[in-house]
Chains A and B, each alone.
Chain A
Amino acid sequence: MSEKIKCDHCHLAFSQDVMIEDNGHYFCCNGCQGVFHLLSDQGLDTFYKKLGDEQLTPPQEQYEDSINFNAPAFYERFVSVNKDGFSEVSLVIEGIHCSACVWLNEKALLNMDGVIATNINYTNNKAKIVWDDDVVKLSEIIDMIRAIGYNAYPYDASLQEEKANKERKDYYLRIAVAVFATMNMMTIMVAQYAGYFTGISEDVKHILNIGEWVLSTPVLFYSGWPFFKGMYYGMKTKTVNMDTLVATGSLLTYIYSIYITLTRSGEAYFDSVTMIVSFVLVGKFLEALSKKSIADTLDIMSQHLPSDVKVIEEEKIVSKNVNDVSVGSIVMLSSGDRVALDGEVIIGSGNFDESSLTGESEPIFKQKGESVISGTVSIDADIKYRVTKDYANSTMSNIVSLLENAMNNKPKIQQLANKLSEYFSSTILLFSLFTFIGWYFYSSNFEQSFMIAISVIVIACPCALALATPVATLVGLSIASKRGILFKEAAQLETMAKADVLALDKTGTITQGRPGVVRSEILKEFDISMLYSLVQISKHPIAKAVTNSIYTEKLICYELDSLKNIASQGITAMYNGKMLAGGNAKLMQTIGLNVENSSEYSEFYFAYGGELLAKYELFDMPREDVKESIQKIKKMGVEVIMLTGDHAKSAKKVAQMVGIEKYESELTPEMKAIYIERLHKADKTVVMAGDGVNDILALASSDIAIAMGNGSDIAIEVSDVVLLNDTFSSLYDSFKISKRTFRMIKQNLALSLVYNGITIPLAMAGYVIPLVAAISMSISSLLVVGNSMRIKLGYKD
């Protein structure tokens, strides 16, 4: 046994006699040796110095042909041309462990002729590569990445993801300016207020005012630009919105303050200009931050479909892109594969997992002549099937396009604050106009009337109104997240509080999603290890449930002979010369045992040597806390409906168990969505909770979609709310928190309206002294923030 040494490329240690020696260097495999020489030739061997002691994955060799990447269809989908005429592609690079890997990839690619720029993101391993397509082809670039020991595959960096990033960056820039100016403004205001109380010379005050003017200008016109844009779009559609109020309010205050500064008469309000813009901008940014892009969801969705299938052409197996497979082709499918295209089985048989369509985990047996559906998974079937629909018309592609449609048309309920601000803004603008007219007739002094009219707008500072919703929802969101409830968007709290109907999926949401043993009956004493050895072989959920229920550490796994899996019946095997059989009543009849099928649950029988030994009854039981939670949710005035793809009998049973009166059974994914659409038509706000791929259409069309934490990743992506701790009681909690938050929002809005109701008449009468204005502005904002904190009361944990 010789000493272990490290491979010079990947740094994995092996014993010396299995290593390849090469000029004093040692390699674990040809792959590593090849990469090492390539790097030395390219002058990139400083990579190893940068790598330090990190270990790499040795390069692998079996990749699909890179020539595929040059196909026009591929270019059309993934490659874009930038303004300089260069091609651009987004890749995900596999095998990046450390910063040295990023360095190596960037250097190796930039050393190639024709590659203009590379940018690899270390955090998510996504890379953007720009190259000149006349000089070098994409396949050569991918070959280079593979040659240095990594792998790359393209992804669709759709416009929406890009757009979201750009929007976020834009906010960063505007907020940077706003925060800088606001903080400087605060220091100046310390001097101003101190001066107001203790006396300040006119000259100094004038200089401070000019300093404020300089600071507030970029805030208003750069940071506040989105509000002016919002006002412009609002005017185009003839609506008055929050943006209108913020924009006119801050602009008029700004102009008023300039006038004060130049005429040296009274107090300037440049500080409130920057404060309003900064606060409301940060509130807007928080909302934008939590918004997710539809693009990401669809990306994950398409990952659920294989991109290549094995097609049999002229006795040979060819790997083909799904888009190129025509109707009538024969496709080979091995166990564990996902079906990419709809078709009809011609050779072979086996079990399929159709949970993505029905939500039921029970495998479905398919044989010659039966149809296979895209998106389902072969559990143990090795079959050949004839394609009956091309990729674009296959079931799963249809679901993807329906989903895209549903997500783009998701109903938007207008938020209370927005609705209110519409009236509020127009009322304030009208008031100030009347004030001006009234004062002008009364005093005939244009300047004075104008000043008073402006002070009405300044006093009706939209700060409190604009903060009412964001602060309350932020507190609501933080409480929810502490309890394992993740709201993806702040506005959803309000929508959820207005919910009329809660639609629930059965399997996996109300129930645990897999059968469990509810009753067992041992008819005759026997060696449990025999049963264990038999059932632990099968992947069938019933066999798994039995295995779990009988498992103890003492059990021994016997050697069994001539194992047989009899589809939709059970398993048989030989042990000590006698036959072991485990399965349903049908299997028992086949081996000559007569059992009566009396139970309303699924049954599992176990026999040895022609003698019935045990009987188990299984059922997919509801989760523990479902019944009480549903009671509480009903008490809130929310109607609860169950939608399931399962047959009527078991739907009725579960509905009775948990106390739901209204249920719909045997629904396809599309029918669930249609059902929700019907509720929408009846003017109901619908919350849908589900967990599986079969629920995604319904989830996407509901107002609020809730996913269970252990649900499929697509369901989680589509949803607005995720219950991370996967308990049913957090569903009730999410209702409770959202209702509470909404109540706070209403209180906040009422508070700011009451405040305005008192101060606006004062301002109209011309009684506003600067100190009152400044103090009342901050007090109204403080009141709103303080009130929002009350949501936390009663949530001590």
Chain B
Amino acid sequence: MDSWVIGMMLGVSVFLGSIAVVALMWAIKKGQFDDQEKFLNSALFDDVDELNDAARVEAKKKEAIKKKEYKPE
């Protein structure tokens, strides 16, 4: 069936394209393009240490929030 093939191709390409758009939107929302210099330089800072640091910061934030919530007023 001709039209079935056309429909499938249309669907798949729009789906793949929309994944890219959603990724772009996520990055814009996270503020990754706010600072173009940093955005370009971040390629220099992406070794294991940086990833560990990022994970540590996340953990620290979670802990701090927890502490705040349980704090007796």
Q: Is A478 an interface residue (CB 8 A)?
A: no
Interface residues on B, range: 20 to 34
Given A117-B61, A173-B28, A204-B6, A99 and B37 touching (CB < 8 A)? yes
- Complex interface bits, B39-73 against A, C-beta within 8 A gives 1, otherwise 0: 00100110001000100010011001101100100
Give the CA-CA distance A120 to B7 in the complex, in Å: 48
Q: Nearest chain A CB to B43's CB is how many angstroms away?
A: 10
A66-122, CB < 8 A from B: 84-86, 99, 102-103, 107, 110, 114, 116-117, 119-122
Contacts of B17 in A (CB 8 A): 180, 184
| Complex contact A50–B44 (CB within 8 A) | yes
A123 at the interface (CB under 8 A from B): yes
Contact with A along B14-50 (1 / 0, CB 8 A): 1001100100110011010011111001001100010
Inter-subunit contact B28/A169 (CB<8 Å):
yes
Contact B36 A201 (CB under 8 A): no
Beyond A50-B44, A204-B2, whether A123 also contacts B36 by CB under 8 A is yes
**Chain A residues near B41 (CB-CB < 8 A):** 99, 102, 122
A110 to B65, CA, bound (A): 16
Whether the Cβ atoms of A201 and B57 lie closer than 8 Å is no
Residues on B with beta carbons closer than 8 Å to the beta carbon of A210: 7
The CA of A86 and the CA of B62, in the complex, are separated in Å by: 12
Contact, CB under 8 Å: A84 / B57: no
Given contacts A123-B35, A204-B2, contact A176 B25 (CB under 8 A): yes
Task: Please give me the residue from chain B that is nearest to A124 by CB atom.
Answer: B35
Q: Which of the residues A103, A134, A165, A215 comes within 8 Å of B14, measured between beta carbons?
A: A215
Chain A residues closer than 8 Å to B24, beta-carbon distance = 176
Which residue of B is nearest A202, CB measured? Answer: B3
Given A107-B53, A110-B53: A172 and B28 interface contact (C-beta under 8 Å): yes
Which applies to chain B's interface (DSSP): helix, strand, loop or mixed?
Answer: helix
Asked if A180 contacts B18 (CB within 8 A), the reply is yes
Instruction: Mark out the residues of chain A between 135 and 190 whose CB falls within 8 Å of any chain B CB in the assembled complex.
Output: 135, 165, 169, 172-173, 176-177, 180, 184, 188
Whole-angstrom distance between the alpha carbons of A215 and B53 in the complex? 41
List residues of chain A with CB within 8 A of the CB of B71: 134
Contacts A99-B41, A169-B28 given; indicate if A211 touches B21 (C-beta within 8 A).
no
List A contacts of B18 (CB < 8 A).
Answer: 180
- Asked if A683 is an interface residue, CB under 8 A from chain B, the answer is no
Beta-carbon contact of B61 and A207 below 8 Å: no
Tell me, rounded to whole Å, the shortest Cβ–Cβ distance linking A188 to chain B: 8
Contact A110 B57 (CB under 8 A): yes
A214 at the B interface (CB under 8 A): yes
Q: Which residues of B contact A204 (CB under 8 A)?
A: 2-3, 6
Asked whether B45 lies within 8 Å of A211 as measured between CB atoms, the reply is no
User: How long is the Cα–Cα vector from A120 to B61 in the complex, in angstroms?
Assistant: 18
Residues of B within 8 A of A86 (CB): 64, 68
Between-chain CB contacts (< 8 Å), 19 pairs: A84-B68, A99-B38, A102-B38, A102-B41, A116-B60, A119-B31, A122-B37, A122-B38, A165-B34, A176-B28, A184-B13, A184-B17, A201-B2, A206-B3, A207-B10, A208-B6, A210-B7, A211-B7, A211-B11
Q: Which residues of A contact B (CB under 8 A)?
A: 46, 50, 84-86, 99, 102-103, 107, 110, 114, 116-117, 119-123, 132, 134-135, 165, 169, 172-173, 176-177, 180, 184, 188, 201, 203-204, 206-208, 210-211, 214-215
Given A102-B41, A165-B34, A215-B14, 5 further pairs, Cβ under 8 A: A110-B60, A132-B68, A135-B64, A173-B28, A206-B3
Which residues in B have some Cβ–Cβ distance to A below 8 Å?
A: 2-3, 6-7, 10-11, 13-14, 17-18, 21, 24-25, 28-29, 31, 34-38, 41, 44-45, 49, 53, 57, 60-61, 64-65, 67-68, 71
The 7 closest A-B pairs by CB, nearest first: A122-B37, A99-B41, A203-B3, A211-B10, A207-B7, A121-B35, A180-B21
